[in-house]
Structure 1
Amino acid sequence: MTRGLEPILADLIHPNLAIHYHTGPEPAPPSVNDYTTSVLSAAHTFASLLPRLRLAQEPDAYLVACFSDHPLVEMLREHTSKPVLGIFEASIMHSLALGRPFGIVTTGKYWEAALAGGVKRIFGSLPAFVGVETTGMSALELHELPAERVAERIAAAAERLVARGARTLIMGCAGMSGMEDAVRAGCGGESVQIVDAVRSGVTVLEGLVRAQRLV
């Protein structure tokens, strides 16, 4: 899944921006599907990142590319003064800036309550937040199941959110990056803006780094 992000983000690269990818090593779970796999992925990924955190020239920032209120974000913040952001937070900030009711299209049923709870914990009560609709697939299944079936389920979830009043739709899984057409297919001709959470994360975090250098 990590390798799949490289071509999707390639057009964001410029002479002042380099992206270094890091995947949690085994026995980190291959897909984050619930609280347990969130904690396990955070623990194993954090342990593998510790040497980098101790470098004199550590990265300028860290982006956690799991769409959740992921514990790795706070774990990294405890050990670095560099900006740390999750794609979950970044995409919601992006959506709020657009000023329209927004909702999240994501994977399994577990995330309906988990993501709604994460929005409330980080941002408080947001009248613009319509809610979460799920596809019933895991992050891995987005790329393992037949593409037509995946697109149909994403479109159906998007359609339900639009019916609830959402006019900005967040693709709520790193594995959904590049699947804008499937989301758009469920919008029924409505004027809807689509937010790719990973691309939002990169651009928001880059802006934070540049702003910090100006202070």
Structure 2
Amino acid sequence: MASSILIINPNSSPSISVGLEQVLKPPSGFTFDFFTGPAGGPLQIDSVTTEITSAANCLPALLPLLSRYDGFLVACYSDHPLTHALREHTTKPVIGIFQASVLASFALTGKFAIVTTGKIWESLLDEGVRAFLGARTSQFVGTFSTGLGVLELHSASEDLISNSIGTAATKAVTNGATIICLGCAGMVGMEKNIKKAVGEKIKVVDGVIAGVELLIGLIRQGYK
């Protein structure tokens, strides 16, 4: 019987879920299902307030689903409270894409940075990395924003998206990064924009893919 993973988009914008579904294809022996935050929740998560309200909006709808799946990925690039809330209700593996990308970056040689959306995330994600890694933050050079909102990653012109991501990536590399994390679920599959700006030698970590791969490994080891 195939193992199952639920990919959770905690905002209420179906376009983000569609983007995830287009990129993520399960390996043999696994199935992926996709969850979008119920109507009435925030359309995009762009503050601490929308993190909290999206978690409160999603949790009641997710609790009945916990018995159906073997692992859960919270596809919001932050220390999202939904990740912690789900862990209170299941012993199955739950991870957020922020944590997954930091773990992946920390395993690679070199310094890493995060390229994200709005400027508010620069301080929030910097604080999140420090809280997650503790004193071992010398490998982290900072968070650099594109100035775009989550939904703009799917509605703005390709030139604007590419230039904004490229500018932020260039700042990250100038500050010493050799590894760049895509700091938004809406950036899934956009590593080409990073490579175009800063070259093929820069490693790009997609937290969505890193999170799925981590869950697959844990489930294969029997943690489900």
Indicate the residue corresponding to 1:116 in structure 2. Answer: 126
Aligned counterpart for 2:163 among listed residues 145, 149, 152: 152
Partner SS, residue 73 of structure 2: strand
- Contact 1:24–1:45 (8 Å) recurs in 2: yes
Q: CA deviation at 1:191?
A: 2.0
Separation (CA, whole Å) in 2 of partners of 1:211 and 1:124: 28
The TM-score normalised by the length of structure 1 is 0.93
Indicate the residue corresponding to 1:6 in structure 2. Answer: 21
Q: Are 1:38 and 2:48 an aligned pair?
A: no
Indicate the residue corresponding to 2:209 in structure 1. Answer: 199
Q: Are 1:94 and 2:107 an aligned pair?
A: no
Aligned counterpart for 2:220 among listed residues 187, 210, 215: 210
Q: Are 1:20 and 2:16 an aligned pair?
A: no
Indicate the residue corresponding to 1:138 in structure 2. Answer: 149
How many pairs does the alignment contain? Answer: 208
Superimposed CA distance per residue, residues 162-200 of structure 1 (whole angstroms, 9 cap, x where no aligned partner): 00000000011010011111111221x472101111111
The TM-score normalised by the length of structure 2 is 0.90
- Contact 1:157–1:186 (8 Å) recurs in 2: no
Q: CA deviation at 1:99?
A: 2.1
Superimposed CA distance per residue, residues 69-96 of structure 1 (whole angstroms, 9 cap, x where no aligned partner): 1000100000001011000000111111
Indicate the residue corresponding to 1:186 in structure 2. Answer: 197
Aligned counterpart for 1:172 among listed residues 173, 176, 183: 183
Q: CA deviation at 1:34?
A: 0.5
CA RMSD of aligned residues (A): 1.3
- Contact 2:122–2:143 (8 Å) recurs in 1: yes
- Contact 2:117–2:147 (8 Å) recurs in 1: yes
Separation (CA, whole Å) in 1 of partners of 2:28 and 2:189: 24
- Contact 1:105–1:170 (8 Å) recurs in 2: yes
- Counterpart of 1:145 in structure 2: which amino acid? A
- Counterpart of 2:88 in structure 1: which amino acid? E
Separation (CA, whole Å) in 2 of partners of 1:173 and 1:149: 16
- Counterpart of 1:50 in structure 2: which amino acid? L
Partner SS, residue 138 of structure 1: coil
Superimposed CA distance per residue, residues 26-85 of structure 1 (whole angstroms, 9 cap, x where no aligned partner): 1111100000110011111111101112x3xx3111100000010001000000010110
User: Higher strand proportion, which one?
Assistant: 2
Separation (CA, whole Å) in 2 of partners of 1:205 and 1:66: 16
- Counterpart of 1:104 in structure 2: which amino acid? I
Deviates more, 1:135-144 or 1:204-213: 204-213
Aligned counterpart for 1:65 among listed residues 67, 70, 75: 75
- Counterpart of 1:203 in structure 2: which amino acid? E
Alignment CA distance shift 1:213-1:112 (3 Å) = closer
- Contact 1:180–1:194 (8 Å) recurs in 2: yes
Separation (CA, whole Å) in 1 of partners of 2:91 and 2:132: 20
